[in-house]
A and B are shown apart, each in its own frame.
Chain A
Amino acid sequence: MYSFEYPYVFLLLIMVAVCILFCKEKVRAIYFPHTELLSSLVRSKQILLNLLRVLILSLLIIGLSSPVKTEEIILDNSKGHEISLILDASGSMNRFDKFKTVKAIMIDFISKRKTDKLALSVFADFAYTVVPLTYDKKSVIKMLDNIEIGVAGRRKTALYEALFLSSKLFNNSKSKERIAILLTDGKDNTDSVPLDMAIERAKDNKIKVYTVAVGDKKDYNAEVLKYIANSTGAKFFSANSYESIQNIYKQINQLEKSEININKYDKKTYYFHYPLTLALVLLLIYFWRKNTWVLNK
Protein backbone atom coordinates (compact mmCIF):
# COMPACT_ATOMS: atom_id res chain seq x y z
CA MET A 1 0.00 0.00 0.00
CA TYR A 2 1.34 3.38 -0.99
CA SER A 3 1.29 6.17 1.60
CA PHE A 4 3.30 9.09 2.98
CA GLU A 5 5.22 8.70 6.22
CA TYR A 6 4.91 12.38 7.13
CA PRO A 7 1.80 13.67 5.36
CA TYR A 8 1.67 16.82 7.50
CA VAL A 9 4.74 18.05 5.60
CA PHE A 10 2.31 18.87 2.77
CA LEU A 11 1.26 21.88 4.85
CA LEU A 12 4.50 23.44 3.60
CA LEU A 13 2.79 23.77 0.21
CA ILE A 14 0.72 26.61 1.70
CA MET A 15 3.96 28.30 2.71
CA VAL A 16 5.30 27.85 -0.82
CA ALA A 17 2.16 29.44 -2.29
CA VAL A 18 2.41 32.37 0.13
CA CYS A 19 6.12 32.77 -0.60
CA ILE A 20 5.62 32.76 -4.36
CA LEU A 21 3.08 35.54 -3.98
CA PHE A 22 4.76 37.68 -1.33
CA CYS A 23 8.42 36.76 -0.85
CA LYS A 24 9.91 38.25 -3.97
CA GLU A 25 13.56 37.65 -4.65
CA LYS A 26 15.48 40.83 -3.91
CA VAL A 27 17.53 41.96 -6.87
CA ARG A 28 18.86 45.32 -7.91
CA ALA A 29 16.23 47.54 -9.46
CA ILE A 30 16.74 50.28 -12.01
CA TYR A 31 14.46 52.55 -13.96
CA PHE A 32 14.29 51.45 -17.56
CA PRO A 33 12.43 53.07 -20.46
CA HIS A 34 10.21 51.04 -22.74
CA THR A 35 9.84 47.96 -20.52
CA GLU A 36 6.77 46.97 -22.57
CA LEU A 37 9.05 45.74 -25.34
CA LEU A 38 11.27 43.93 -22.87
CA SER A 39 8.42 42.25 -21.00
CA SER A 40 7.16 40.70 -24.24
CA LEU A 41 10.60 39.10 -24.63
CA VAL A 42 10.95 37.76 -21.09
CA ARG A 43 7.33 36.77 -20.36
CA SER A 44 7.50 33.16 -21.61
CA LYS A 45 10.84 32.65 -19.89
CA GLN A 46 9.47 34.07 -16.67
CA ILE A 47 6.46 31.73 -16.77
CA LEU A 48 8.76 28.74 -17.32
CA LEU A 49 11.04 29.78 -14.45
CA ASN A 50 8.10 30.25 -12.08
CA LEU A 51 6.71 26.87 -13.09
CA LEU A 52 10.09 25.27 -12.48
CA ARG A 53 10.30 26.92 -9.05
CA VAL A 54 6.88 25.59 -8.05
CA LEU A 55 7.68 22.12 -9.39
CA ILE A 56 11.04 21.96 -7.63
CA LEU A 57 9.58 23.05 -4.28
CA SER A 58 6.61 20.68 -4.65
CA LEU A 59 8.89 17.75 -5.45
CA LEU A 60 11.12 18.58 -2.48
CA ILE A 61 8.07 18.62 -0.22
CA ILE A 62 6.88 15.30 -1.66
CA GLY A 63 10.37 13.93 -0.97
CA LEU A 64 10.23 15.27 2.60
CA SER A 65 6.86 13.66 3.22
CA SER A 66 8.58 10.35 2.40
CA PRO A 67 6.40 8.37 -0.01
CA VAL A 68 6.53 4.74 1.06
CA LYS A 69 5.13 1.36 0.01
CA THR A 70 4.28 -0.87 2.97
CA GLU A 71 4.08 -4.66 2.60
CA GLU A 72 3.28 -7.08 5.41
CA ILE A 73 5.91 -9.78 5.68
CA ILE A 74 5.45 -12.89 7.86
CA LEU A 75 8.58 -14.87 8.54
CA ASP A 76 7.23 -17.68 10.77
CA ASN A 77 3.96 -18.93 9.44
CA SER A 78 3.56 -21.61 12.13
CA LYS A 79 2.20 -18.97 14.52
CA GLY A 80 -0.98 -18.52 12.51
CA HIS A 81 -4.05 -20.79 12.29
CA GLU A 82 -4.85 -23.21 9.52
CA ILE A 83 -8.52 -23.18 8.75
CA SER A 84 -10.44 -25.43 6.43
CA LEU A 85 -13.82 -24.10 5.36
CA ILE A 86 -16.23 -26.88 4.45
CA LEU A 87 -19.35 -25.73 2.69
CA ASP A 88 -22.51 -27.62 1.86
CA ALA A 89 -23.35 -27.02 -1.83
CA SER A 90 -26.28 -29.40 -2.08
CA GLY A 91 -29.57 -28.41 -3.73
CA SER A 92 -31.26 -27.71 -0.38
CA MET A 93 -28.89 -24.78 0.24
CA ASN A 94 -30.63 -23.00 -2.58
CA ARG A 95 -33.75 -22.52 -0.50
CA PHE A 96 -34.19 -19.06 1.08
CA ASP A 97 -30.95 -17.91 -0.57
CA LYS A 98 -28.99 -19.67 2.15
CA PHE A 99 -26.06 -20.39 -0.15
CA LYS A 100 -25.59 -16.77 -1.19
CA THR A 101 -25.90 -15.54 2.41
CA VAL A 102 -23.40 -18.07 3.70
CA LYS A 103 -20.95 -17.24 0.90
CA ALA A 104 -21.07 -13.50 1.71
CA ILE A 105 -20.46 -14.19 5.42
CA MET A 106 -17.61 -16.59 4.65
CA ILE A 107 -15.93 -14.06 2.37
CA ASP A 108 -16.08 -11.53 5.19
CA PHE A 109 -14.64 -14.12 7.58
CA ILE A 110 -11.78 -14.97 5.21
CA SER A 111 -10.79 -11.34 4.82
CA LYS A 112 -10.53 -11.01 8.61
CA ARG A 113 -8.14 -13.94 8.99
CA LYS A 114 -5.10 -12.02 7.88
CA THR A 115 -2.30 -14.23 9.12
CA ASP A 116 -3.97 -17.62 8.67
CA LYS A 117 -3.76 -20.29 6.03
CA LEU A 118 -7.13 -21.15 4.55
CA ALA A 119 -8.57 -24.06 2.56
CA LEU A 120 -11.95 -24.48 0.95
CA SER A 121 -13.91 -27.70 0.37
CA VAL A 122 -17.46 -28.20 -0.85
CA PHE A 123 -19.71 -31.20 -0.69
CA ALA A 124 -23.04 -32.46 -1.98
CA ASP A 125 -23.24 -35.84 -3.78
CA PHE A 126 -19.50 -36.04 -3.19
CA ALA A 127 -16.86 -33.89 -1.55
CA TYR A 128 -13.91 -32.18 -3.16
CA THR A 129 -11.25 -29.68 -2.29
CA VAL A 130 -11.62 -26.39 -4.12
CA VAL A 131 -8.52 -24.70 -2.69
CA PRO A 132 -5.93 -26.46 -0.52
CA LEU A 133 -4.37 -24.63 2.45
CA THR A 134 -2.94 -21.35 1.22
CA TYR A 135 -2.14 -17.79 2.26
CA ASP A 136 -3.50 -16.57 -1.00
CA LYS A 137 -6.79 -15.26 0.33
CA LYS A 138 -7.65 -13.51 -2.90
CA SER A 139 -7.78 -16.88 -4.68
CA VAL A 140 -9.87 -18.42 -1.91
CA ILE A 141 -12.36 -15.55 -2.07
CA LYS A 142 -12.44 -15.69 -5.86
CA MET A 143 -13.06 -19.44 -5.91
CA LEU A 144 -15.71 -19.21 -3.20
CA ASP A 145 -17.43 -16.46 -5.12
CA ASN A 146 -17.55 -18.62 -8.24
CA ILE A 147 -18.96 -21.73 -6.56
CA GLU A 148 -22.58 -22.41 -7.35
CA ILE A 149 -25.10 -24.99 -6.17
CA GLY A 150 -24.65 -28.21 -8.07
CA VAL A 151 -20.88 -28.14 -8.54
CA ALA A 152 -20.73 -31.37 -6.55
CA GLY A 153 -24.19 -32.67 -7.40
CA ARG A 154 -27.54 -31.68 -5.91
CA ARG A 155 -29.36 -34.58 -4.33
CA LYS A 156 -27.14 -35.96 -1.58
CA THR A 157 -25.05 -34.64 1.32
CA ALA A 158 -21.65 -36.30 1.68
CA LEU A 159 -20.98 -34.64 5.04
CA TYR A 160 -18.66 -37.27 6.59
CA GLU A 161 -16.72 -37.63 3.34
CA ALA A 162 -16.19 -33.86 3.33
CA LEU A 163 -14.90 -33.97 6.91
CA PHE A 164 -12.62 -36.86 6.05
CA LEU A 165 -11.33 -35.21 2.90
CA SER A 166 -10.83 -31.91 4.66
CA SER A 167 -8.86 -33.59 7.45
CA LYS A 168 -6.45 -34.97 4.88
CA LEU A 169 -5.51 -31.40 3.96
CA PHE A 170 -3.72 -31.06 7.32
CA ASN A 171 -1.46 -34.11 6.81
CA ASN A 172 1.67 -32.06 6.29
CA SER A 173 0.64 -29.18 8.51
CA LYS A 174 3.15 -27.57 10.86
CA SER A 175 0.68 -25.21 12.52
CA LYS A 176 -0.42 -25.85 16.10
CA GLU A 177 -3.89 -24.44 15.53
CA ARG A 178 -5.87 -26.45 13.02
CA ILE A 179 -9.50 -25.71 12.54
CA ALA A 180 -12.29 -26.88 10.28
CA ILE A 181 -15.61 -25.06 10.00
CA LEU A 182 -18.23 -27.33 8.60
CA LEU A 183 -21.44 -25.69 7.47
CA THR A 184 -24.46 -27.72 6.39
CA ASP A 185 -28.23 -27.65 6.26
CA GLY A 186 -28.78 -31.38 6.00
CA LYS A 187 -27.90 -34.88 7.16
CA ASP A 188 -25.31 -37.19 5.69
CA ASN A 189 -27.07 -39.55 3.29
CA THR A 190 -24.15 -41.19 1.53
CA ASP A 191 -22.24 -44.15 2.89
CA SER A 192 -18.90 -43.30 1.39
CA VAL A 193 -17.09 -42.62 4.73
CA PRO A 194 -18.29 -43.70 8.21
CA LEU A 195 -18.71 -40.94 10.80
CA ASP A 196 -16.27 -42.42 13.29
CA MET A 197 -13.56 -42.72 10.68
CA ALA A 198 -14.01 -39.10 9.71
CA ILE A 199 -13.89 -37.96 13.35
CA GLU A 200 -10.90 -40.21 14.03
CA ARG A 201 -9.02 -38.68 11.11
CA ALA A 202 -9.85 -35.19 12.36
CA LYS A 203 -8.70 -36.07 15.87
CA ASP A 204 -5.51 -37.65 14.51
CA ASN A 205 -4.69 -34.45 12.75
CA LYS A 206 -5.60 -32.43 15.87
CA ILE A 207 -8.30 -30.53 14.06
CA LYS A 208 -11.00 -28.66 15.92
CA VAL A 209 -14.16 -29.04 13.86
CA TYR A 210 -16.70 -26.28 14.43
CA THR A 211 -20.02 -27.40 13.06
CA VAL A 212 -22.60 -24.90 11.90
CA ALA A 213 -26.14 -25.97 11.08
CA VAL A 214 -28.34 -23.60 9.12
CA GLY A 215 -32.00 -23.77 8.28
CA ASP A 216 -34.80 -25.82 9.70
CA LYS A 217 -33.95 -28.05 12.71
CA LYS A 218 -35.76 -30.97 11.10
CA ASP A 219 -33.44 -30.91 8.11
CA TYR A 220 -30.14 -31.41 9.94
CA ASN A 221 -28.99 -33.84 12.58
CA ALA A 222 -27.98 -31.61 15.45
CA GLU A 223 -26.89 -34.55 17.59
CA VAL A 224 -24.35 -35.74 15.03
CA LEU A 225 -23.03 -32.24 14.47
CA LYS A 226 -22.71 -31.69 18.23
CA TYR A 227 -20.94 -35.01 18.49
CA ILE A 228 -18.43 -34.08 15.82
CA ALA A 229 -17.75 -30.72 17.46
CA ASN A 230 -17.45 -32.11 20.97
CA SER A 231 -15.24 -35.00 19.89
CA THR A 232 -12.75 -32.60 18.34
CA GLY A 233 -12.84 -30.02 21.12
CA ALA A 234 -14.83 -27.43 19.25
CA LYS A 235 -18.40 -26.12 19.39
CA PHE A 236 -21.66 -26.66 17.58
CA PHE A 237 -23.71 -23.69 16.36
CA SER A 238 -27.11 -23.50 14.75
CA ALA A 239 -28.69 -20.55 13.01
CA ASN A 240 -31.58 -19.72 10.77
CA SER A 241 -31.04 -16.08 9.88
CA TYR A 242 -28.36 -13.94 8.26
CA GLU A 243 -27.48 -12.21 11.51
CA SER A 244 -27.22 -15.42 13.47
CA ILE A 245 -24.92 -17.03 10.89
CA GLN A 246 -22.81 -13.88 10.90
CA ASN A 247 -22.65 -14.00 14.70
CA ILE A 248 -21.47 -17.60 14.59
CA TYR A 249 -18.56 -16.72 12.33
CA LYS A 250 -17.79 -13.73 14.54
CA GLN A 251 -17.73 -16.02 17.57
CA ILE A 252 -15.42 -18.47 15.81
CA ASN A 253 -13.26 -15.54 14.80
CA GLN A 254 -13.06 -14.45 18.44
CA LEU A 255 -12.51 -17.98 19.78
CA GLU A 256 -9.71 -18.71 17.35
CA LYS A 257 -7.82 -15.45 17.52
CA SER A 258 -4.34 -15.65 16.08
CA GLU A 259 -1.74 -14.58 18.57
CA ILE A 260 0.19 -11.50 17.61
CA ASN A 261 2.85 -12.71 15.34
CA ILE A 262 6.20 -11.47 16.54
CA ASN A 263 7.71 -12.46 13.24
CA LYS A 264 5.37 -10.29 11.27
CA TYR A 265 6.73 -6.94 10.15
CA ASP A 266 6.03 -4.22 7.65
CA LYS A 267 8.43 -4.07 4.77
CA LYS A 268 8.74 -0.44 3.76
CA THR A 269 10.08 0.59 0.39
CA TYR A 270 11.02 4.26 0.34
CA TYR A 271 10.51 6.33 -2.79
CA PHE A 272 11.72 9.76 -1.61
CA HIS A 273 14.77 9.61 -3.88
CA TYR A 274 12.59 9.73 -7.03
CA PRO A 275 11.05 13.17 -6.36
CA LEU A 276 14.40 14.38 -5.02
CA THR A 277 16.24 13.28 -8.18
CA LEU A 278 13.60 14.88 -10.35
CA ALA A 279 13.84 18.07 -8.27
CA LEU A 280 17.62 18.06 -8.77
CA VAL A 281 17.25 17.66 -12.54
CA LEU A 282 14.69 20.49 -12.63
CA LEU A 283 17.01 22.62 -10.50
CA LEU A 284 19.76 22.17 -13.08
CA ILE A 285 17.32 23.10 -15.85
CA TYR A 286 16.29 26.11 -13.75
CA PHE A 287 19.88 27.33 -13.44
CA TRP A 288 20.47 26.71 -17.11
CA ARG A 289 17.34 28.62 -18.12
CA LYS A 290 18.20 31.39 -15.71
CA ASN A 291 21.55 31.74 -17.45
CA THR A 292 23.39 32.22 -14.23
CA TRP A 293 26.45 30.43 -15.54
CA VAL A 294 29.51 32.63 -15.64
CA LEU A 295 30.10 31.73 -19.31
CA ASN A 296 26.79 33.25 -20.33
CA LYS A 297 27.60 36.64 -18.94
Chain B
Amino acid sequence: MLAQEILLRAKKNVFTNKSAGELSKIRGDGLDFCEIRPYEPGDEIRKINFTASGKTGELQTNIFNEDKQINIVICIMLSSSLHFGSQCLKSETIAQIIALLGCSSIKQKNQTQLLFFTKDKQQLFRINNTTDVLHAIEAIQTWDLLETEPDFQAMHDYLLQQQKSMVFIIGDFYQHDDYSLIGHKSQINALIVRDMLEEMPNFSAELDLVNTQDGSTVEANMNKKLASKYHAKLNAEDDKLFSHFVKHKINAGKIYTNDDAFTKLSQILR
Protein backbone atom coordinates (compact mmCIF):
# COMPACT_ATOMS: atom_id res chain seq x y z
CA MET B 1 0.00 0.00 0.00
CA LEU B 2 1.26 3.45 -0.83
CA ALA B 3 2.02 5.93 1.96
CA GLN B 4 -0.61 8.30 0.59
CA GLU B 5 -3.23 5.56 0.58
CA ILE B 6 -2.44 4.59 4.16
CA LEU B 7 -2.75 8.20 5.25
CA LEU B 8 -6.03 8.73 3.42
CA ARG B 9 -7.58 5.66 4.99
CA ALA B 10 -6.42 6.78 8.44
CA LYS B 11 -7.79 10.29 7.88
CA LYS B 12 -11.14 8.84 6.84
CA ASN B 13 -11.29 6.66 9.92
CA VAL B 14 -10.13 9.25 12.42
CA PHE B 15 -11.77 12.44 11.22
CA THR B 16 -15.19 10.94 10.49
CA ASN B 17 -15.45 8.91 13.69
CA LYS B 18 -16.98 10.65 16.68
CA SER B 19 -17.28 7.76 19.06
CA ALA B 20 -13.86 8.08 20.65
CA GLY B 21 -14.50 11.53 22.10
CA GLU B 22 -11.70 13.79 23.06
CA LEU B 23 -11.48 13.50 26.78
CA SER B 24 -8.22 12.31 28.23
CA LYS B 25 -8.44 9.41 30.60
CA ILE B 26 -5.34 10.54 32.45
CA ARG B 27 -6.05 12.31 35.68
CA GLY B 28 -3.72 15.12 36.51
CA ASP B 29 -3.21 18.80 36.45
CA GLY B 30 -5.67 19.87 33.79
CA LEU B 31 -8.57 22.28 34.12
CA ASP B 32 -11.21 19.73 33.21
CA PHE B 33 -13.02 18.87 36.46
CA CYS B 34 -13.60 15.18 36.95
CA GLU B 35 -14.87 14.39 40.50
CA ILE B 36 -14.69 15.16 44.23
CA ARG B 37 -13.27 12.49 46.49
CA PRO B 38 -12.08 12.30 50.14
CA TYR B 39 -8.65 13.78 50.77
CA GLU B 40 -5.79 11.32 50.68
CA PRO B 41 -2.31 11.92 52.00
CA GLY B 42 -0.19 13.28 49.15
CA ASP B 43 -3.03 15.26 47.52
CA GLU B 44 -2.26 18.90 46.87
CA ILE B 45 -3.64 21.19 49.59
CA ARG B 46 -4.66 23.81 47.02
CA LYS B 47 -7.06 21.35 45.47
CA ILE B 48 -9.04 20.85 48.71
CA ASN B 49 -12.69 21.77 48.12
CA PHE B 50 -13.56 23.58 51.33
CA THR B 51 -17.27 23.95 50.48
CA ALA B 52 -17.65 20.21 50.00
CA SER B 53 -15.49 19.59 53.09
CA GLY B 54 -17.76 21.84 55.14
CA LYS B 55 -20.87 20.03 53.96
CA THR B 56 -19.58 16.54 54.55
CA GLY B 57 -17.53 17.21 57.65
CA GLU B 58 -14.34 15.69 56.24
CA LEU B 59 -11.71 16.97 53.82
CA GLN B 60 -12.65 16.62 50.13
CA THR B 61 -10.40 17.12 47.13
CA ASN B 62 -11.23 18.21 43.61
CA ILE B 63 -9.93 15.82 40.96
CA PHE B 64 -9.24 17.10 37.43
CA ASN B 65 -8.59 15.36 34.18
CA GLU B 66 -5.20 15.82 32.62
CA ASP B 67 -5.05 18.64 30.09
CA LYS B 68 -6.64 17.55 26.84
CA GLN B 69 -3.46 18.47 25.11
CA ILE B 70 -1.20 15.71 26.26
CA ASN B 71 2.26 14.53 25.27
CA ILE B 72 2.22 11.51 23.08
CA VAL B 73 5.33 9.55 22.31
CA ILE B 74 5.12 6.84 19.67
CA CYS B 75 8.12 4.52 19.84
CA ILE B 76 8.59 2.21 16.90
CA MET B 77 10.90 -0.68 17.75
CA LEU B 78 12.17 -1.47 14.29
CA SER B 79 13.59 -4.94 13.89
CA SER B 80 14.41 -7.28 11.03
CA SER B 81 11.57 -9.58 12.07
CA LEU B 82 9.08 -6.93 10.90
CA HIS B 83 10.01 -7.89 7.35
CA PHE B 84 7.38 -10.64 7.31
CA GLY B 85 3.71 -10.88 6.54
CA SER B 86 1.14 -13.02 4.77
CA GLN B 87 -1.56 -10.41 3.98
CA CYS B 88 0.77 -7.46 4.19
CA LEU B 89 4.12 -6.89 5.86
CA LYS B 90 4.12 -6.22 9.58
CA SER B 91 5.96 -2.97 8.85
CA GLU B 92 3.02 -1.92 6.68
CA THR B 93 0.59 -2.59 9.51
CA ILE B 94 2.81 -0.44 11.73
CA ALA B 95 2.63 2.28 9.07
CA GLN B 96 -1.18 2.09 9.30
CA ILE B 97 -1.00 2.38 13.11
CA ILE B 98 1.34 5.36 12.81
CA ALA B 99 -1.15 7.02 10.45
CA LEU B 100 -4.07 6.39 12.79
CA LEU B 101 -2.28 7.54 15.92
CA GLY B 102 -0.78 10.52 14.10
CA CYS B 103 -4.11 11.67 12.66
CA SER B 104 -5.81 11.09 15.99
CA SER B 105 -3.31 13.22 17.88
CA ILE B 106 -3.51 15.95 15.23
CA LYS B 107 -7.28 15.97 15.66
CA GLN B 108 -6.92 16.27 19.44
CA LYS B 109 -4.12 18.82 19.07
CA ASN B 110 -1.76 16.75 21.17
CA GLN B 111 1.98 17.21 21.14
CA THR B 112 3.18 14.12 19.40
CA GLN B 113 6.62 12.73 18.82
CA LEU B 114 7.36 9.67 16.79
CA LEU B 115 10.67 7.88 17.13
CA PHE B 116 12.28 4.98 15.38
CA PHE B 117 14.68 3.14 17.69
CA THR B 118 17.31 0.93 16.08
CA LYS B 119 20.85 0.06 17.07
CA ASP B 120 22.26 1.86 14.03
CA LYS B 121 20.26 5.08 14.12
CA GLN B 122 17.32 6.80 15.70
CA GLN B 123 14.96 9.08 13.88
CA LEU B 124 12.58 11.60 15.43
CA PHE B 125 9.46 13.04 13.82
CA ARG B 126 7.38 15.76 15.44
CA ILE B 127 3.82 15.25 14.28
CA ASN B 128 2.13 18.60 13.82
CA ASN B 129 0.25 17.99 10.60
CA THR B 130 -0.61 15.20 8.18
CA THR B 131 2.50 15.91 6.10
CA ASP B 132 4.62 14.89 9.10
CA VAL B 133 2.58 11.70 9.34
CA LEU B 134 3.16 11.06 5.67
CA HIS B 135 6.92 11.50 6.13
CA ALA B 136 6.91 9.05 9.02
CA ILE B 137 4.98 6.50 6.95
CA GLU B 138 7.37 6.94 4.05
CA ALA B 139 10.31 6.56 6.41
CA ILE B 140 9.16 3.19 7.70
CA GLN B 141 8.24 2.02 4.23
CA THR B 142 11.66 2.80 2.86
CA TRP B 143 13.60 1.54 5.88
CA ASP B 144 15.86 -1.41 5.10
CA LEU B 145 14.61 -3.66 7.84
CA LEU B 146 16.84 -6.66 7.21
CA GLU B 147 19.61 -6.91 9.81
CA THR B 148 17.99 -4.11 11.82
CA GLU B 149 18.01 -4.49 15.59
CA PRO B 150 15.80 -2.56 18.03
CA ASP B 151 17.54 -0.45 20.67
CA PHE B 152 15.59 -0.85 23.90
CA GLN B 153 18.17 0.92 26.02
CA ALA B 154 17.91 4.07 23.91
CA MET B 155 14.12 3.96 24.20
CA HIS B 156 14.27 3.61 28.00
CA ASP B 157 16.77 6.44 28.30
CA TYR B 158 14.68 8.70 26.11
CA LEU B 159 11.36 8.00 27.86
CA LEU B 160 12.87 8.46 31.32
CA GLN B 161 14.06 11.92 30.35
CA GLN B 162 10.65 12.93 29.02
CA GLN B 163 7.84 14.37 31.11
CA LYS B 164 4.85 12.21 31.88
CA SER B 165 3.40 11.15 28.56
CA MET B 166 1.15 8.69 26.89
CA VAL B 167 3.56 6.28 25.26
CA PHE B 168 2.86 3.85 22.46
CA ILE B 169 5.48 1.17 21.99
CA ILE B 170 4.98 -0.60 18.70
CA GLY B 171 6.84 -3.70 17.54
CA ASP B 172 6.54 -7.46 17.40
CA PHE B 173 8.02 -7.88 20.89
CA TYR B 174 10.14 -10.96 20.23
CA GLN B 175 12.93 -9.45 22.28
CA HIS B 176 11.80 -9.35 25.88
CA ASP B 177 12.67 -6.32 27.95
CA ASP B 178 11.90 -4.84 31.35
CA TYR B 179 9.28 -2.07 31.09
CA SER B 180 8.79 -1.56 34.84
CA LEU B 181 10.62 1.79 35.09
CA ILE B 182 8.96 3.52 32.16
CA GLY B 183 5.65 1.91 33.12
CA HIS B 184 5.91 3.61 36.48
CA LYS B 185 6.59 7.01 34.92
CA SER B 186 4.23 7.13 31.94
CA GLN B 187 1.11 5.48 30.71
CA ILE B 188 2.37 2.83 28.34
CA ASN B 189 0.45 1.18 25.54
CA ALA B 190 2.22 -1.79 23.99
CA LEU B 191 0.97 -2.63 20.52
CA ILE B 192 2.19 -6.05 19.45
CA VAL B 193 2.09 -6.39 15.69
CA ARG B 194 2.09 -9.94 14.48
CA ASP B 195 1.09 -12.08 11.53
CA MET B 196 -1.18 -15.12 11.89
CA LEU B 197 1.18 -17.22 9.78
CA GLU B 198 4.21 -16.48 11.92
CA GLU B 199 2.36 -17.62 15.05
CA MET B 200 1.00 -20.77 13.39
CA PRO B 201 3.47 -21.46 10.57
CA ASN B 202 1.70 -24.38 8.92
CA PHE B 203 3.23 -24.02 5.46
CA SER B 204 2.78 -27.76 4.72
CA ALA B 205 6.11 -27.80 2.96
CA GLU B 206 9.77 -28.35 3.55
CA LEU B 207 11.41 -24.96 3.76
CA ASP B 208 14.64 -23.21 4.52
CA LEU B 209 13.64 -20.56 7.04
CA VAL B 210 16.06 -17.68 6.84
CA ASN B 211 16.65 -15.63 9.93
CA THR B 212 16.05 -11.99 9.01
CA GLN B 213 18.64 -10.86 11.52
CA ASP B 214 21.76 -12.85 10.66
CA GLY B 215 20.79 -14.80 7.54
CA SER B 216 21.21 -18.16 9.26
CA THR B 217 19.01 -20.94 7.95
CA VAL B 218 16.83 -23.49 9.69
CA GLU B 219 15.76 -26.42 7.56
CA ALA B 220 12.35 -27.63 8.65
CA ASN B 221 9.37 -29.50 7.37
CA MET B 222 6.71 -27.04 8.43
CA ASN B 223 3.73 -29.29 8.94
CA LYS B 224 0.76 -29.01 11.25
CA LYS B 225 2.44 -30.86 14.10
CA LEU B 226 5.55 -28.69 14.14
CA ALA B 227 3.45 -25.54 13.69
CA SER B 228 1.34 -26.47 16.75
CA LYS B 229 4.45 -27.09 18.82
CA TYR B 230 5.90 -23.75 17.75
CA HIS B 231 2.60 -22.01 18.47
CA ALA B 232 2.45 -23.48 21.98
CA LYS B 233 6.01 -22.40 22.73
CA LEU B 234 5.43 -18.90 21.37
CA ASN B 235 2.22 -18.62 23.40
CA ALA B 236 4.13 -19.50 26.55
CA GLU B 237 6.60 -16.70 25.80
CA ASP B 238 3.77 -14.25 25.07
CA ASP B 239 2.03 -15.19 28.31
CA LYS B 240 5.18 -14.19 30.20
CA LEU B 241 5.24 -10.90 28.29
CA PHE B 242 1.59 -10.13 29.05
CA SER B 243 2.10 -11.03 32.74
CA HIS B 244 4.90 -8.49 32.82
CA PHE B 245 2.63 -5.87 31.21
CA VAL B 246 -0.21 -6.57 33.66
CA LYS B 247 2.17 -6.39 36.61
CA HIS B 248 3.32 -2.92 35.56
CA LYS B 249 -0.13 -1.66 34.50
CA ILE B 250 0.82 -1.51 30.84
CA ASN B 251 -2.05 -1.62 28.41
CA ALA B 252 -1.21 -4.15 25.71
CA GLY B 253 -2.82 -5.79 22.74
CA LYS B 254 -2.04 -7.70 19.60
CA ILE B 255 -2.80 -6.38 16.14
CA TYR B 256 -2.50 -8.87 13.30
CA THR B 257 -1.65 -7.94 9.75
CA ASN B 258 -5.06 -9.12 8.56
CA ASP B 259 -6.92 -7.10 11.20
CA ASP B 260 -8.58 -3.76 10.55
CA ALA B 261 -6.02 -1.59 12.33
CA PHE B 262 -8.51 1.15 13.28
CA THR B 263 -11.04 -1.23 14.87
CA LYS B 264 -8.38 -3.20 16.68
CA LEU B 265 -6.65 -0.07 17.94
CA SER B 266 -9.96 1.30 19.23
CA GLN B 267 -10.56 -1.96 21.12
CA ILE B 268 -7.12 -1.93 22.70
CA LEU B 269 -7.20 1.72 23.72
CA ARG B 270 -10.82 1.78 24.92
Report A's interface with B, CB cutoff 8 A: 25, 27-39, 41-42, 46, 290-292, 296-297
Distance of A208 from chain B, by nearest CB (Å): 77
A-B residue pairs in contact (CB < 8 Å), sample of 9 = A29-B217, A31-B83, A33-B174, A35-B216, A37-B237, A41-B229, A291-B223, A292-B221, A297-B204
Return the contact of A27 from the options B174, B207, B211, B234 (Cβ within 8 A): B207
Q: A34, B174: Cβ atoms under 8 Å?
A: yes
In the complex, per-residue mask of B215-252: 1 if CB is within 8 Å of any chain A CB, else 0: 01111110111100110011001000000000000000
The residue in chain B whose Cβ has the minimal distance to the Cβ of A25 is: B219
Q: A42, B233: Cβ atoms under 8 Å?
A: no
In the complex, A260→B208 CA distance in Å?
Answer: 65
Q: B84, A31: Cβ atoms under 8 Å?
A: yes
- Other than the given A28-B205, A30-B209, 9 more pairs (CB < 8 A) read A31-B212, A33-B82, A33-B212, A35-B209, A35-B210, A291-B221, A292-B221, A296-B224, A297-B204
Distance of A24 from chain B, by nearest CB (Å): 8
In the complex, A38→B219 CA distance in Å?
Answer: 10
Distance of A38 from chain B, by nearest CB (Å): 6
Q: B223, A296: Cβ atoms under 8 Å?
A: yes
Return the contact of B225 from the options A29, A30, A35, A296 (Cβ within 8 A): A296
B-side contacts of A34, CB under 8 Å:
81, 174, 198, 234
Q: A37, B84: Cβ atoms under 8 Å?
A: no
In the complex, A5→B226 CA distance in Å?
Answer: 45
B-side contacts of A25, CB under 8 Å:
219
Distance of A6 from chain B, by nearest CB (Å): 34
Query: Which of A27, A28, A34, A37 has the largest number of chain B CB atoms within 10 A?
Result: A34
| B157 is an interface residue with CB less than 8 A from chain A | no
| B206 is an interface residue with CB less than 8 A from chain A | yes
Return the contact of B210 from the options A29, A36, A291, A297 (Cβ within 8 A): A29
Q: B225, A32: Cβ atoms under 8 Å?
A: no
Q: How many residues of B contact A (CB 8 A)?
A: 35
| B201 is an interface residue with CB less than 8 A from chain A | yes
A38-B230, A41-B233, A296-B225 as given contacts; A32 in contact with B198, CB under 8 Å: yes
In the complex, A291→B80 CA distance in Å?
Answer: 30
Return the contact of A41 from the options B146, B172, B198, B230 (Cβ within 8 A): B230
A-side contacts of B225, CB under 8 Å:
291, 296
Q: B207, A38: Cβ atoms under 8 Å?
A: no
B-side contacts of A290, CB under 8 Å:
206, 221
Query: Which of B209, B217, B233 has the largest number of chain A CB atoms within 10 A?
Result: B209
Q: A27, B208: Cβ atoms under 8 Å?
A: yes
A37-B230, A41-B230 as given contacts; A29 in contact with B207, CB under 8 Å: yes
In the complex, A207→B114 CA distance in Å?
Answer: 116
Q: A30, B221: Cβ atoms under 8 Å?
A: no
Q: B219, A27: Cβ atoms under 8 Å?
A: yes
The residue in chain B whose Cβ has the minimal distance to the Cβ of A26 is: B208
Report, nearest first, the 10 A-B pairs whose CB atoms are least far apart.
A33-B81, A29-B208, A32-B209, A35-B211, A42-B220, A39-B218, A297-B204, A35-B218, A34-B174, A31-B212
A-side contacts of B224, CB under 8 Å:
296-297
The residue in chain B whose Cβ has the minimal distance to the Cβ of A293 is: B223
The residue in chain A whose Cβ has the minimal distance to the Cβ of B215 is: A31
The residue in chain B whose Cβ has the minimal distance to the Cβ of A36 is: B211
In the complex, A132→B206 CA distance in Å?
Answer: 72
B-side contacts of A296, CB under 8 Å:
223-225
B-side contacts of A46, CB under 8 Å:
219-220
A-side contacts of B229, CB under 8 Å:
41
A-side contacts of B210, CB under 8 Å:
29-32, 35
In the complex, A42→B207 CA distance in Å?
Answer: 12
The residue in chain A whose Cβ has the minimal distance to the Cβ of B203 is: A30
A-side contacts of B237, CB under 8 Å:
37
In the complex, A290→B226 CA distance in Å?
Answer: 11
Q: A42, B204: Cβ atoms under 8 Å?
A: no
Return the contact of B212 from the options A28, A32, A39, A292 (Cβ within 8 A): A32
B-side contacts of A28, CB under 8 Å:
205-208
